């Protein structure tokens, strides 16, 4: 009796179009994280038309992000939706969690680690105590709009101006409170201030009654790869007192994670 090939080894079970799609995704590296259609076609050994259709499909599905200004593409963090455990692949989440726990409740009511994905912030880690009355869901894997959050501002601030504009214009900007900035020019001014001072402050802009400080986490090439934030209930202290007491702590955590990211790269 002839042996049957295992399902994975049987050529009849191989879907060529899926293989091509993964070939596109595998084109991107830490050094070459943004590529044009032509570069993708060359690396994936595809004709340009096939590469274009696959890229547009992956953009539509959310696995690639298109920079309409430069016509470059890069991996989207939605790739991580294929497996939540991939969120901690670089161990940044695992390194951050004990540091975030040191901040809560000593310096704040919630501490978070997030990354930027297009116009959104995706939470990778969250430690919370004392914000139950606000009924805000910030569990790992959840998303918020970057334009309205300190965590988003601190990461957007590290991008070139053209990309800031592209990401801010790629989503509807609505007021989440009377303090939310939605005007493009006002947001760009805010991002420039955040870039210069090295941290972001939000006083009730993302949600009524919450105050947040955020600082960037840098990778080997000095680009911002993540952000950490600390949030308090506004009834706990005013924004100036919060900034004075908590800013050194959130910057310390950001510096430790930056060092870890750069050492492991």
Cβ proximity of 162 and 70 under 8 Å = yes
Q: For residue 5, name the pLDDT band (cuts at 50, 70, 90).
A: low
Confidence at residue 80, expressed as pLDDT on a 0 to 100 scale: 58
The overall average pLDDT reported for the chain is: 88
Is it the case that residue 67 has pLDDT exceeding 70? yes
Is it the case that residue 76 has pLDDT exceeding 80? yes
Confidence at residue 49, expressed as pLDDT on a 0 to 100 scale: 95
Is it the case that residue 1 has pLDDT exceeding 70? no
Confidence at residue 155, expressed as pLDDT on a 0 to 100 scale: 97
| Domains and their CATH numbers in the chain | 7-75 (1.10.10.10), 84-264 (3.30.450.40)
Q: For residue 86, name the pLDDT band (cuts at 50, 70, 90).
A: very low
pLDDT (tens digit per residue) in 94-115? 889 999 999 999 999 999 999 9
| Most confident region among 67-81, 105-119, 133-147 by mean pLDDT | 105-119
Is it the case that residue 133 has pLDDT exceeding 80? no
Confidence at residue 75, expressed as pLDDT on a 0 to 100 scale: 87
Give the pair of three-digit tokens for residue 174.
């609505």
Q: Please tell me whether the overall predicted TM-score, pTM, comes out greater than 0.85 for this model.
A: no
In the chain, at which residue ranges do the beta strands (DSSP E only) sit? 64-67, 72-75, 110-117, 120-128, 143-145, 200-203, 210-218, 224-233
Confidence at residue 64, expressed as pLDDT on a 0 to 100 scale: 92
220 versus 227: which is more confidently predicted?
227
- Over residues 84-94, the mean pLDDT reads 59
- Over residues 124-139, the mean pLDDT reads 77
Confidence at residue 139, expressed as pLDDT on a 0 to 100 scale: 82
Share of the chain above pLDDT 90, in %: 63
Confidence at residue 8, expressed as pLDDT on a 0 to 100 scale: 58
Confidence at residue 250, expressed as pLDDT on a 0 to 100 scale: 97
199 versus 95: which is more confidently predicted?
199
Q: For residue 138, name the pLDDT band (cuts at 50, 70, 90).
A: confident
Q: What is the 3-state secondary structure (H, E, C) of the chain?
A: CCCCCCHHHCHHHCCHHHHHHHHHHCCCCCCCCCECHHHHHHHHCCCHHHHHHHHHHHHHHCCEEEECCCCEEEECHHHHHHCHHHHHCCCHHHHHHHHHHHHCCCCCCEEEEEEEECCEEEEEEEEECCCHHHCCCCCCCCEEEHHHCHHHHHHHCCCCHHHHHHHHHCCCCCCCCCCCCCCHHHHHHHHHHHHHHCCEEEECCCCCCEEEEEEEEECCCCCEEEEEEEEEECCCCCHHHHHHHHHHHHHHHHHHHHHHHHHHC
């Amino acid at each position: 009796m002839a042996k049957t090939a295992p399902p994975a080894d049987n050529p009849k079970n191989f879907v060529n179009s899926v293989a091509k799609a993964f070939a596109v995704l595998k084109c991107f590296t830490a050094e070459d994280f943004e590529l044009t259609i032509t570069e993708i076609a060359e690396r994936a050994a595809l004709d340009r038309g096939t590469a274009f259709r696959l890229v547009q499909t992956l953009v539509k599905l959310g696995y690639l992000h298109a920079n309409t200004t430069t016509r470059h593409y890069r991996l989207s963090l939605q790739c991580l939706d294929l497996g939540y455990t991939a969120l901690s692949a670089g161990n940044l989440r695992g390194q951050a969690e004990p540091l975030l726990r040191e901040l809560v409740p000593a310096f704040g009511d919630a501490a978070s680690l997030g990354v930027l994905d297009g116009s959104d912030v995706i939470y990778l880690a969250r430690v919370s105590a004392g914000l139950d009355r606000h009924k805000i869901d910030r569990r790992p894997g959840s998303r918020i709009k970057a334009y309205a959050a300190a965590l988003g501002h601190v990461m957007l601030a590290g991008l070139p101006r053209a990309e800031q504009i592209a990401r801010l214009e790629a989503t509807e900007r609505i007021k989440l409170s009377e303090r939310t900035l939605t005007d493009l020019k006002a947001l760009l001014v805010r991002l420039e201030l955040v870039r210069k001072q090295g941290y972001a402050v939000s006083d009730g802009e993302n949600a009524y009654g919450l105050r947040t400080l955020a600082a960037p986490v840098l990778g080997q090439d000095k680009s911002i790869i993540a952000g950490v934030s600390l949030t308090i209930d506004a009834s706990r202290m005013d924004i100036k007192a919060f900034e004075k007491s908590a800013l050194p702590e959130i910057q310390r955590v950001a510096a430790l994670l930056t060092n870890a990211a750069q050492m492991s790269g």
